[in-house]
Amino acid sequence: MIAVLAGGVGAAKFLRGLISVIDPSSITVIGNTADDEEFLGLHVSPDLDTVVYTLADAVDPEAGWGIANDTYTALEQAAQLGQETWFKLGDKDLATHLLRTKLLRSGNTLSQATQAVADAFGVTCRLLPMSDDRVRTIVTTDDGDISFQEYFVRRRQEDEVKALKFEGAEQAQPAPGVLDAIKRASGVIIAPSNPLVSIGPILAVPGIREALVDTDAKVAAVSPIIGGRALKGPAAGMLESLGHESSAAGVAKLYEDMLDVLVLDEEDRVLAPDVEALGITPIVTNTIMRDAARRRALAEATLESIS
Ligand code: FO1
């Protein structure tokens, strides 16, 4: 069994490559839920949904999140009724949040609701939220503390990030199966996701980081930073403003205590000695997942590095 720590769009693409190489039922995905937010009274889990929609081949290919060919009738009507609609929830996407919210309100855990959503979309990977407890990423900006989606979507990642907090993390417990998956895995992969706001919250849940340090399995990360920049999202600026190096070597340093292998892009070949100096094996390959063949090749190279 391979365990994968996952954020949203980058992780989902990587997983799509992985399921073309190994049996999906041999993969346990541990997903970030610190981006979760309540909109229109519904519990939205953007990163888990992005993984489900992508693996089910239902994702909007342009955005990388949401459902392909969705419509926005309900949201337009919500705006008419004076609701806040800056977070774009499509009509089909809303059905997922209705299902999740119904299950949560009737006493199910987030793990159970996640399983139900994955099953409904025919996703056969085991998909676990990092925790069934509420953990929220809070971004400190010049205007004060705001929620992650407020920073990411409403304010378009334009604020300088002064600090990050994962509210609730200290009291949270890993969801059932998370620690066991890391312990029993034949290999662990940290997907190419933002190390601070996608993987960071997962590692902040007590016990998960320790499990990654202690596991006998090899742990590989795929760098989401290529040539000092992120392909998507605010990772580069965030790394810099929080005093980290915005490079594949900077990513290696953030995971240094648990990492055996860092997969980095050909563009960053010159950084391989810096990664090696940290005691981490660098694997240099093409990490830009432009098409199915590239996604598959990246998954194969990553799997080989931990086998
Ligand atoms: N991202 C945006 O940039 N704008 C949106 O309006 C938006 C809506 C949205 C709805 C459902 C969903 O599952 C994801 C959505 N995302 C949107 C993406 C989401 O904010 C990010 O993928 C993550 O939270 C960061 O990993």
Look up the CATH number of the domain holding residue 195: 3.40.50.10680
Q: What percentage of residues in the chain have a pLDDT greater than 90?
A: 99
- Shared domain for 15 and 63, answered yes or no, is yes
Residue closest via CA to ligand 1's atom 1 equals 153
* Contact between 194 and 157 (Cβ < 8 Å): no
Q: Residue 232 has what pLDDT?
A: 87
Determine the distance separating the centroid of ligand 1 and the alpha carbon of 254, expressed in angstroms: 25
- Using alpha carbons, select from 180, 56, 176, 58 the residue that is nearest to residue 119: 56
- In the chain, the number of structural domains is 2
- Shared domain for 144 and 210, answered yes or no, is no
- Average pLDDT of the chain to the nearest whole number: 97
- Shared domain for 145 and 288, answered yes or no, is no
Determine the distance separating the centroid of ligand 1 and the alpha carbon of 77, expressed in angstroms: 20
Residues 118-175 pLDDT 10s = 999 999 999 999 999 999 999 999 999 999 999 999 999 999 999 999 999 999 999 9
In Å, the largest CA–CA distance within the chain is 59
- Tell me: pLDDT of 231 over 90: no
- Shared domain for 261 and 275, answered yes or no, is yes
| CA angle (163 as vertex; 8, 42 as ends), nearest 5 | 45
Q: Which one of 54, 65, 232 would you pick to mutate in the ligand 1 pocket, going by the greatest count of ligand atoms within 8 A of its CB?
A: 65
Residues 19-62 pLDDT 10s = 999 999 999 999 999 999 999 999 999 999 999 999 999 999 99
* Contact between 137 and 201 (Cβ < 8 Å): yes
Phi, psi of 139 (to 5 degrees): -105, 125
- Span 241-251, average pLDDT: 96
- Shared domain for 88 and 216, answered yes or no, is yes
- Please give the C-alpha separations between residue 195 and each of 32, 34, 192, 248, 271, in angstroms, as whole numbers: 11, 13, 8, 11, 18
Determine the distance separating the centroid of ligand 1 and the alpha carbon of 154, expressed in angstroms: 10
- Span 255-264, average pLDDT: 98
- Shared domain for 163 and 189, answered yes or no, is no
Q: What is the extent of the structural domain holding 204?
A: 2-134+174-305
Beta bridge partners of 225: 230
